Amino acid sequence: MYPPSLPPLPARFLAVARAALVAFAVAPVVAQQAVWKLPQRGAAEYRSAPQAKSGTAESLAAANKLDPKDAPPPGFVPHFQPSPWLCQGELAADQRAVGDEPRDLRDVLRAIAFDLRLTGAAKARYRRLVPFGDLVFTGKVEAPAADGKQTLRLDVTTEDPEVRPGESKALLQKWVRPLCKHKATGTLRLTRTFDAAKGVVADFEGELALVFEEQKGKFRKLVVSDHWQLVDVHDNQDAAFRGAVVKGIRDGAKWLQRELGDLLRPSLKDQDDGLRSYGSGRLALALLTLLHAEVPPDDPVVAAGFDELRKRVLVDTYSLAVALMALAERYTPPGEADLLRSGTLVAPRPRQLSEADRKLAEEWVTKLRQNIDTRGDPAYRMAFNYTAGPRFDNSVNQYGLLGLYAASLCQIEIPVTVWRATANYQLEVQCDDNNRELRPDLVTYKELTALQQAEPGKGKRTTGGGLVPVRGFAYHMPDKPPYGSMTAAGVGSLVISRFGLLRAGQGKADVMPKIDAGIQSGFAWLGAEFHVRCNPGDVDHADDSYYYYLYGLERTCELAGVALLGGRDWYYEGALQILPQQQKNGAFRPEHPRGYLLESTCFAVLFLKKAALPPITGG
């Protein structure tokens, strides 16, 4: 993986990739043990009917007798509903239960229903279900009947959260335990049918009821129920999936075109005080998305949008960076990303901008480079802020670097000192590993293609390389818990800085080994914490910035040419969660009721389209 005429990534970086097509290791199964039999990296599709109700009473006894009718208040059940799928990659190594930890009470029902180990004297623990803490289920489970039906009746209690791998006691005490506010008791009643011949749970119907003292003298009963029925079992990225992706992108683009038909709508306007230009940033994001969705640059809506964008006064890093990304995409040759992934093309082609657009891009880059954290010497350590000032965050910083990367594609020279300084800053804010080490488990697009084309019995490879620290990124500084969207941002930023140094002939710079180690550690975190049903890591952000996380995951994996992360098809699993969120009008419903449809739709379409352009390839 390398840019034009530059050294490839270090062998140790690629050596940690594991074989892509070796069958998923399944532990030996004793006679009559139920086990899932999903296709490798395939999935089971279901239809579901989730409900969540709550009510309050003045005593614990009265609350237990309630038949709740009201919707739960915010904070108990996320607005965003996980999609009714089970991916083979989600299963534990023994293929008998879901390995990914649920972050939603509705997903707890799925986890229990799909846990084929629960029989006899059963106990299950699901960690950090905010605002309750760890939920512990205990009870006696009867053996399934001859037709596979089984009823589970379990008691529920809550316990304090425990330290997880890669977490310090100080982080747990400061950032996790305060979120676990309510001690609850309750019951779970669930009936499921396991089809042993097909190796799938054919259906389940369950109800989880929790009762807790919400505040002094006020007791709440919360009831979550769901009913899942199997629709079909799918091979990885089958024809139905590919068709759904094409339709999702097309319908999302049509909705965006209608939105941009009115460029004066409030969401596209900038702040009156002139301190931010977020409206222009949304306009640029929509244009970037439409171009990636293969709407031509001369489309009347796109052309009018760019005419409007050129008139805007862009101020903040986000708006300037996305505008540069949109402008670079306007001049991108069709099909270039696919050629880069396959290795047919060894580097992105330079963009040939018109004279007017090049002048505009240079003006935007000049402004962008001024929007930095003013603390310290920018010649040594540099990070982006919204505008110039003494602050930094990994989110806006990644956009600054994406803007510089887009500018470099447009043949605007970025000084090598910028790439070195941004790498130095990014490495400083990577979180501690807290004595957690793993072998990164990555498969590049070129490796995956070679394995798929190899003769049967050949092309197998085993995971190589040694253990690396598992280190994520938080929003600001590393004294807070890392989480998915920020770790994707931090790793992507390091990949871009690395590209800039290589392009400048600095492949042997003293900072390069540190950058490579930071990238490996970041990917180790993303693999270890991989989840597509929430924003993983810090539980306080589990139901926030969901689309932003998946778009960041896509961008980081594509920038580095990673096809499989932790042995899992990150794109397939993420798309299966995103696609059911699309509404009939083409927009994707946001994570929160007051979220912007435009942003959730753009991030969803960009993910589905695999919009990030690799600066390094599998050569």
Is residue 29 situated within a structural domain?
no
Span 459-478, average pLDDT:
79
**192, 207, 234: which is the final residue of a domain?**
234
284 plus 168 within the same structural domain: no
Is residue 92 situated within a structural domain?
yes
b/e string for 443-469 if b means 16 or more Cβ within 10 A?
bbbbbbbebeeeeeeebebebebeebb
Residue range 428-439, pLDDT digits in tens: 999 999 999 998
262 plus 149 within the same structural domain: no
Q: Which CATH number belongs to the domain containing residue 321 in this structure? A: 1.50.10
Span 5-23, average pLDDT:
38
Q: How many domains does the chain have?
A: 2
398 plus 513 within the same structural domain: yes
Residue 190, phi then psi, degrees to nearest 5: -150, 140
547 and 588 Cβ atoms separated by less than 8 Å: yes
Q: What residues pair up with 226 in beta bridges, in sequence order?
A: 206
220 plus 252 within the same structural domain: no
Which pLDDT belongs to residue 611?
Answer: 78
544 and 104 Cβ atoms separated by less than 8 Å: no
Residue 185 pLDDT exceeds 50 = yes
Is residue 422 situated within a structural domain?
yes
Residue range 161-183, pLDDT digits in tens: 999 999 999 999 999 999 999 99
Residue range 363-393, pLDDT digits in tens: 999 999 999 999 989 999 999 999 999 999 9
Residue range 255-279, pLDDT digits in tens: 999 999 999 999 999 988 888 999 9
Residue range 337-365, pLDDT digits in tens: 888 877 788 788 899 999 999 999 999 99
160 plus 252 within the same structural domain: no
pTM comes to 0.92
How far is the CA of 65 from the CAs of 51, 69, 135, 217, 264, in angstroms? Answer: 19, 13, 21, 16, 53
Is residue 450 situated within a structural domain?
yes
Checking 78-81 for CB contacts under 8 A at 24+ apart, the result is 78/104, 78/542, 78/543, 78/591, 79/543, 79/591, 79/592, 79/593, 80/543, 80/546, 80/581, 80/589, 80/591, 80/592, 81/50, 81/106
Name the E strands within 18-96. Answer: 43-48, 51-57, 85-87
pLDDT classification of 218: cutoffs 50, 70, 90: very high
Range of the domain at 536: 11-20+248-608
Span 313-336, average pLDDT:
95
Residue range 103-158, pLDDT digits in tens: 999 999 999 999 999 989 999 999 999 999 999 999 999 899 999 999 999 999 99
Please, what is the average pLDDT of the chain? 90
